[in-house]
Amino acid sequence: MSLWYLLSALSLFYILIGRILTTENAPYLLSGYNTLSAEEQKKVNLAAYVPFFRKFHLWLGLGHFTVGSLLFYLWSEDAAGLFLGICPILAYLWFMSHSRRFMAGVQERQIRIARYVLIACALLVSGLMLIGQGNIPFEVQADGLRIGGIYGETLPRNNLSSVQLVDALPDIKWKTHGFATGSAKKGYFRTRDGRSVKLMLNHGVAPYLLLTRQDGRQIYYACGSRNNRLLWAQIDSLMPEKTKKN
């Protein structure tokens, strides 16, 4: 449920941003306004811009919460996570495009650059999420195992302590380095009991393949396109001294 809490917090944050700004405090709180010259400040129609700003952030917060919650409960955490990353960027692109009428001729170059940056961010976030949601290659060989893709690694046979199937993941407290959206998690995570584990998952369905290295570090693997029971059986046939039965 942590993704839903993040969705709710961000939605509330957008609404509060809109509630805070008023015509009286806009000259002090409005980002970039104080950096304008006196001549440029006269071109900004604060009386019209502030209500537009407030209304935009109100609808952004309400829409963000409503659509995000529907995706979370009726579709999947992954869909809600994708929405969480893309929606604000697209919304602010729309906002920048439609707010220009309140400040005609003011810092046109800076606004154009900011728009290009937001477009680049939207493309980057979309690309990263698609990569993060992708399949995770897994190769079983007599001399070891290889996990491909982002955060993948090779596990030589002599560096592998055990391989087993488990029905649950450890209780994760936070992500330390990696990618996480819904059931897709790739990278390093901290458990509630203080351990660091690597998760290589693109779905949240048990059983999970637990790979333990000789140094004690653990990797949990699950990919929707692979059957972990068959993978375990394949590993068991090539290196039976490494496998553990539940």
Write out the two tokens for 36: 């304008």
* Crossing angle of helices 46-74 and 2-20, rounded to 10°: 170
pLDDT at 134: 67
Mean of pLDDT over the chain: 82
Instruction: Mark whether 104 and 200 lie in a shared domain.
Output: no
Instruction: Mark whether 129 and 142 lie in a shared domain.
Output: no
Q: pLDDT of 2-29, one tens digit each?
A: 677 778 888 899 899 888 888 888 777 7
Instruction: Mark whether 90 and 152 lie in a shared domain.
Output: no
Instruction: Mark whether 27 and 122 lie in a shared domain.
Output: yes
Instruction: Mark whether 173 and 114 lie in a shared domain.
Output: no
Question: Which of 133, 153, 170 is the C-terminal boundary of a domain?
Answer: 133
Instruction: Mark whether 68 and 108 lie in a shared domain.
Output: yes
Per-residue pLDDT band for 196 (boundaries 50, 70, 90) equals very high
Q: pLDDT of 210-245, one tens digit each?
A: 999 999 999 999 887 678 888 999 998 898 888 876
Instruction: Mark whether 127 and 207 lie in a shared domain.
Output: no
Domain that holds residue 74: 2-133
Per-residue pLDDT band for 100 (boundaries 50, 70, 90) equals confident
Number of other CB atoms surrounding residue 244 within 10 Å: 14
Write out the two tokens for 112: 């154009």
Instruction: Mark whether 189 and 129 lie in a shared domain.
Output: no
Average pLDDT over residues 64-84: 80
Please give the Cα distance from 135 to 148 (Å, whole number): 9
| Total domains, the chain | 2
Q: pLDDT of 41-71, one tens digit each?
A: 777 778 888 899 899 999 999 988 898 888 8
Write out the two tokens for 126: 């979309």
Instruction: Mark whether 143 and 113 lie in a shared domain.
Output: no
Per-residue pLDDT band for 1 (boundaries 50, 70, 90) equals very low
